[in-house]
Amino acid sequence: MATEATAHGGYLDILRAPHAARLLAGTLVGRLPNGVGPIALTLFVRDQGGSYTLAGGLIAAYGVATAVGQPLLGRAVDLKGQPRVQLPAAVLSALGMVLLALTGIGHLPLAYAAVVVAGLFTPPLEGGLRALWPSVLGREDRVHRAYAMDAVAQEVMFTVGPLLLTLLVSLWSPAAALLVINALGVLGALAVVLSEPSRTWRSAPREAHWLGALRSPGLLALLGSFFFVGLALGSITVAAVSYADDRGTPSVYGWLMAALGLGALVGGVTYGARQWSGAPERRLRVLVLLLAVCYLPLVLTPGPVAMTGLAALSGVFLAPVLACAFIVVDRHAPAGTVTEAFSWLVTTFGVGSALGSAVAGPAVELAGTVAGFAVAGAGGLVALLVLLATGRVLHVPTSPAVVAEQDARHAVGAGGPTSVHTEKNAH
């Protein structure tokens, strides 16, 4: 069940908390290079006279490297703290893109090496921010609302980021845009790691285990589901291009993507404006069901106006699903692995999205646009089936280590972001 949030409990209340606005803004700016990376690489390669095939290869290398690097860097953050990992990673990632911008695509091994470095060292700012919210906001209901705000902010970033990139390209060049975007990324990471919550944050003591966060069955179940949510979303981007080609109006693609983002924005704001009771694991199953149901009408492929409406509908439950998943990750991450656990969610979602794009391409070529959108509907349904099949392991965690860590983190939040030793002593 849900109840309307009071004005005190809304997004403005969260942003008024000490350090909250800075951490959110710094994280979003720090993630810009990764958020617009595929578009920036495509524009750069085409400006250099390269083919779309080369652009796709570089984007794939960048995506794979990012998927590998995120959980590894997330684990390093849990072990070493945020400043010692996030800032050096941001600088190394930016240097990779600087190398590409300065040397171009004339020497392909060097170009691929540059994007691999950029992807591998993409700082896990997204997971880092979610690890900081308990110490910054204290109360569990405020943390949960911050997760919803986080999901909404992502939609804003994915809307504003490409616009900023396009502006920089029009003012200068794709190479200059790469340099500016990555410089902004370093500044965003710097703003985060110099803040008091980031400097003083310490992960809870952790059990030495090579699997790290992946030893949690509940987390594995969630990751399995979100792989298919990502697959569904990735397939929509390809199917939408095919739909625009069928209609002979390339601009329709932009409208469809904007509508999907607007739907997610509205859904996220609405979800975060309410206080939810009951186990988030059960709520997540309902939200994924609604997400899957809203993907299915896309196969109707009506005229552009109606299709834009269906695209908006397909996005409505995306941000709520993400926000609820963040809560589930927090509940199931083993003690001392929270940043790594959030980073695994980012990686799994990204890999699923990439595979969705790869699957939708042949589907469209073999059976048309409808088949591409059918991949999205199938992905949503499989994501739901995974949650239903793993319901037993997604029960409220009873591990003493997990419960102790959650209690300690909330105690730290109640005492202020400098109360690091409280968290350690709670164990």
Give the integer Cα–Cα distance in Å for 69 and 79: 15
pTM above 0.85, yes or no: no
CA distances from 366 to 1, 31, 160, 301, 369 (A): 45, 36, 34, 17, 9
- Reported CATH class of domain 18-203: mainly alpha
Name the residue with tokens 């090579």.
210
Residue 414 has pLDDT above 90, yes or no: no
Residue 421 has pLDDT above 60, yes or no: no
Residue 56 has pLDDT above 90, yes or no: no
On the question of a common fold for 18-203 and 211-396, the answer reads: yes
Name the residue with tokens 């793993």.
390
Q: What angle do CA 175, 179, 180 make, to 5 degrees?
A: 115
Token couple for 8: 């005190």
Q: Which pLDDT score is estimated for 123?
A: 97
pLDDT-based confidence at residue 397 (cuts at 50, 70, 90): low
* pLDDT tens per residue across span 120-157: 999 999 999 989 999 899 888 888 888 888 888 887 88
* pLDDT tens per residue across span 150-209: 888 887 887 788 888 888 988 999 999 999 999 999 999 999 999 999 999 988 776 666
Residue 2 has pLDDT above 80, yes or no: no
CA distances from 280 to 66, 290, 327, 396, 421 (A): 29, 15, 7, 9, 29
Contact 271, 320 (CB under 8 A): yes
Q: Which pLDDT score is estimated for 91?
A: 98
Torsion of CA 296, 297, 299, 305, to 10 degrees: -150
Q: Which pLDDT score is estimated for 203?
A: 81
Name the residue with tokens 């109840």.
3
pLDDT-based confidence at residue 364 (cuts at 50, 70, 90): confident
* pLDDT tens per residue across span 230-285: 999 988 988 888 898 888 887 788 788 888 888 988 998 888 878 888 889 999 99
Contact 44, 180 (CB under 8 A): no
Q: Which pLDDT score is estimated for 122?
A: 97
Contact 369, 266 (CB under 8 A): no
Residue 418 has pLDDT above 70, yes or no: no
Residue 337 has pLDDT above 80, yes or no: yes
Q: Which pLDDT score is estimated for 299?
A: 96
Exposure letters 151-181 (e unless 16+ CB within 10 A, then b): bbbbbebbeebbebbeebbeeeebbebbbbb
Q: Which pLDDT score is estimated for 420?
A: 32
Dmax (CA) of the chain: 64
Residue 334 has pLDDT above 70, yes or no: yes
Q: Which pLDDT score is estimated for 214?
A: 87
The fold for domain 211-396 equals Growth Hormone; Chain: A; (1.20.1250)
Residue 52 has pLDDT above 80, yes or no: no
Residue 405 has pLDDT above 70, yes or no: no
Residue 419 has pLDDT above 60, yes or no: no
Higher pLDDT, 83 or 248: 83
Name the residue with tokens 């060049």.
173
Average pLDDT over residues 2-18: 66
* pLDDT tens per residue across span 206-219: 666 667 788 889 99
Contact 88, 190 (CB under 8 A): no
Q: Which pLDDT score is estimated for 189?
A: 98
pLDDT-based confidence at residue 383 (cuts at 50, 70, 90): very high
pLDDT-based confidence at residue 37 (cuts at 50, 70, 90): confident
Domain range annotation of the chain = 18-203, 211-396
Residue 404 has pLDDT above 80, yes or no: no
pLDDT-based confidence at residue 6 (cuts at 50, 70, 90): very low
